[in-house]
Amino acid sequence: MLRAQVVVTATVTFDVTLSIFSYSYAVTNNGSLDLAIVTFAGLPANPGTVMNLSAPTGFGATYDSGLGLISFFEDADPATPQTFAPGSTTAPFTFTSFSGPGAAQFEALDANGNSFTGPTVAPIPEPSTVSIFALSALLIFGASYRRIRQQTC
């Protein structure tokens, strides 16, 4: 039995002005069979907050807010013959959310209906996101320290 080897990689950025996370996913098919659909559970950690969902040309994307599932799939338009072909990487699949990233599992179905599951590769924060989180932590620590110091004087 041939098995698809699927890798899903995420990049997440945070817009401090809007307090919103932007997610971008790439699906790599290292197997020998076409994939038909890739579905994610647990992204983001708080269901019901996915907005601006989009897929590259030749693909579609849906969000089930009740179940918190996001699905990426090939469209049925013969004018856009793009596929999750063996050896290909398809990107970007994007959305925004007020919720930060959490652990996520994916399930992929190949053209023969075989199911493959696995974790996504952890979201990779952009350098600016890391800086913002570090600065926020320092500001919170500084404010807390100042408040404690004022209370003891």
Return the closest-CA partner of residue 105 out of 121, 127, 86. Answer: 121
| 88 phi, psi to nearest 5 deg | -105, 155
Residue 121 resides in a domain: yes
* 132, part of any domain: no
Q: Render pLDDT for 84-94 as a digit per residue (tens, 0 to 9).
A: 888 999 999 99
Does any domain span residue 38? yes
Domain span at residue 107? 6-125
Q: Please tell me the distance from the alpha carbon of residue 145 to that of residue 153, in angstroms, as a whole number.
A: 13
Q: What is the CATH number of the domain that holds 61?
A: 2.60.40.2230
Residue 129 pLDDT exceeds 50: no
Q: Could you tell me if residue 16 is inside a domain?
A: yes
pLDDT on residue 59: 93
Number of domains in the chain: 1
pTM for the whole thing? Answer: 0.73
Q: Considering the domain boundaries, does residue 98 fall inside one?
A: yes
- The verdict on residue 152 lying in a domain is no
Q: What is the pLDDT of residue 80?
A: 76
- Bridge partners (DSSP) of residue 93 are 25
- The tens digit of pLDDT for each residue in 30-63 reads 888 888 899 988 666 565 688 999 999 999 999 9
Is 139 among the domain residues?
no
Neighbouring CB atoms inside 10 A of 128's CB total 12
**Two tokens at 31?**
């197997």
Please, which residues bridge with residue 118 across strands? 106
Is the predicted pLDDT of residue 4 greater than 80, yes or no?
Answer: no
Over pLDDT 70: what percentage of the chain? 71
pLDDT reading at 132 higher than 90: no
